[in-house]
Structure 1
Amino acid sequence: MKKQLQLMVALMVLGLSVSAQKEYKLAKSSGKLNLNLSGATVEGYNGGEIIFSSPASEKEQVDERAKGLKAVNSSGFKDNTGLGLDVTVKGEDINVNPVSLTDDRRFKIRVPQNIKVVFTNNSSMYQDSLTLKNLKSEIEVSVNFNEVKLENNTGPVNVKTLNGSVDAVFAGEIKGPISIVSVHGHVDVALPKTAKVSLEAGTNYGKIYAAEGLNIAIEKEAVEKTDKPATGVAYTTNGSVLFSGLVSGTGAKASTSTLTTTQGGNRVLSAINISMRKESENIKGKINGGGTVLILKSNHDSIYIREK
């Protein structure tokens, strides 16, 4: 009797878990998945369907007046999944877009291993973290503010983020090329000790840190540490900056020269030439004799290369 009661409780808990999650399945085992979302968790698995899921929102309320109707808005996308997503298949492309940008649900997407994943988010307002794990096909990411996490992917990988940081852990076989670039965030990568890698790493304003256990054979002739002037121009009107064409951010030393245009005795437009100095670190090296190309770049933060 006790065992039967325990089984009933377990089934009830499982039932509640399933009912608390919404799913949409698409029978597709190859092609390119184009995700235009604020954030997501994307996980590879051995299967023949792309599975979209999202926890049921506690805030979700049923509008009785809307029964039999569908929400429409200016995006042009229609919810054909029941998850607030528009999923459209065009040949080998599977395009995924949110119907509403203000939908803050976090999606989990399980992807068959032969599907290439492309994630894009150019929004400066709507962004969440992005996690990609256990994927064995190509990954391409282009975002503005998302924090990006890569876990146990084989590659190839191409990640570009403007303001977010990138943390990556490679646990097994790595297929290149791997390129991870952040303009303002850090780049943190963990590699297996046995990985065969041809490394290129560079930062303008940060530092490069590496684990001694990886035994990186740095090419001395390829080490570059520069102190270069960075120039630009800022246009102002009556002292207010309208546009800055400055090549790079801040520096310890700067010199300026100003050319002012006047009209009727009043200053109209000033062009200020700015000259600053910047320092950069660039290295090339090999791990275990070289192999997979690994490119790591961060303009304004540091790079960390760890042993897994």
Structure 2
Amino acid sequence: MRKIMTTIALVVTTLGYIQAQEFKLAKSTGRLEIKEVNNVDIEGYSGNEIIFTSRSGKRDADDRAKGLRAINALGLEDNTGLGLSVVDKNGVIEVQQMKRMDGPDITIKVPKGVTVSYTHTSPHGSEVNIKDVEGEIEISTVHNGINLTNVTGPMTINTVHGNIEGSLSANLKNPISIVSVHGHVDLALPTTVKASVKMSTVYGEIFVDPEFKVDATTAGGLNKYSSDTVTAKINGGGVDITLSSTHNNVYLRKK
């Protein structure tokens, strides 16, 4: 029985090692540019390192590749052991995956002082999840959906075909722009937030939680709404927030 238990413990330890491979970069300021990484979660934390963790386990072994290094057509090298190229170029950390399709399943933990930029154009990616990031965020995707949790901004979020959903922090910073062309935009804010909100859609509808104290901009004693744009102040106004979907709906919910 003791031998069996020891074997099980070794298997569990080995699996834990495989599923939690890490690459760390001592960096607490600057800019993190993540390009064409298909499967990624980004989390803010109080630390002084950017930490890359593989959730998909050890990179596939290739006996024929022993003693060789992985590169791709762009001249990138897997210098992390996770299927990623991570390069520091004068304070800008460039992150790209080696494979065009599929690729590793990665979590990136980011210190508070780091600006996060994520761009993705191919149809091969999954939703990108951004959580607890307190620095500036820039996201531009074509097909990916975007999930935002407890982020503060400033932020510029754009996607063509994806949905954007989020629950923002009360400590918001100017400016905040969240735009989808074909997907919906669904955002939750604390009811106490002070914000100046512009919501627009061409072919969809705009829905706002009735518990928000909304003082709409007026003109000639009338509420100033057009067929596709609503400009309003929440709790007297404050942080500038733009929410827009051209072909779908915009939702503003209470957190």
TM-score in terms of structure 2 length: 0.90
How many residue pairs get aligned? The number is 245
Q: Distance in 2 between matches of 1:172 and 1:202?
A: 23
Answer yes or no: is 1:294 the counterpart of 2:245.
Answer: no
CA RMSD of aligned residues (A): 2.1
Show CA shifts across 1:119-174 (max 9, x none).
00122x22111001101110000110100000000110100100001001013211
- Aligned equivalent of 1:188: 186
- Aligned equivalent of 2:44: 44
Q: Is the contact between residue 44 and residue 134 of structure 2 (CA under 8 Å) also seen in structure 1?
A: yes
Show CA shifts across 1:254-307 (max 9, x none).
xxxxxxxxxxxxxxxxxxxxxxxxxxx101011110000000010000000000
Q: Distance in 2 between matches of 1:171 and 1:154?
A: 5
Show CA shifts across 1:69-90 (max 9, x none).
1223313211011111111101
Q: Is the contact between residue 190 and residue 307 of structure 1 (CA under 8 Å) also seen in structure 2?
A: yes
Answer yes or no: is 1:307 the counterpart of 2:219.
Answer: no
Q: Distance in 2 between matches of 1:10 and 1:306?
A: 47
1:20 is displaced (CA, Å) by 2.2
Percent same amino acid among aligned pairs? 39
Q: Distance in 2 between matches of 1:99 and 1:223?
A: 49
Q: Is the contact between residue 56 and residue 105 of structure 2 (CA under 8 Å) also seen in structure 1?
A: no
Who wins on radius of gyration, i.e. which is larger?
1
- Aligned equivalent of 1:239: none
Quickly say closer, same or farther: Cα 1:19–1:63, change in 2 above 3 A. closer
Q: Is the contact between residue 21 and residue 57 of structure 2 (CA under 8 Å) also seen in structure 1?
A: no
Quickly say closer, same or farther: Cα 1:307–1:66, change in 2 above 3 A. same
Q: Within 5 Å, give how 1:1-308 maps onto structure 2.
A: 13=12, 16-36=15-35, 37-57=37-57, 61-123=60-122, 125-221=123-219, 222-225=224-227, 281-308=228-255
Unaligned runs of 5+ in 1: 1-5, 226-280
Q: Secondary structure at the match of 1:214?
A: coil
Q: Distance in 2 between matches of 1:90 and 1:75?
A: 16
TM-score in terms of structure 1 length: 0.75
Amino acid at match of 1:55: R
Amino acid at match of 1:301: N
Q: Distance in 2 between matches of 1:12 and 1:173?
A: 45
Q: Is the contact between residue 193 and residue 213 of structure 1 (CA under 8 Å) also seen in structure 2?
A: yes
- Aligned equivalent of 1:269: none
Q: Is the contact between residue 75 and residue 100 of structure 1 (CA under 8 Å) also seen in structure 2?
A: no
Q: Distance in 2 between matches of 1:299 and 1:56?
A: 36
Quickly say closer, same or farther: Cα 1:303–1:55, change in 2 above 3 A. same
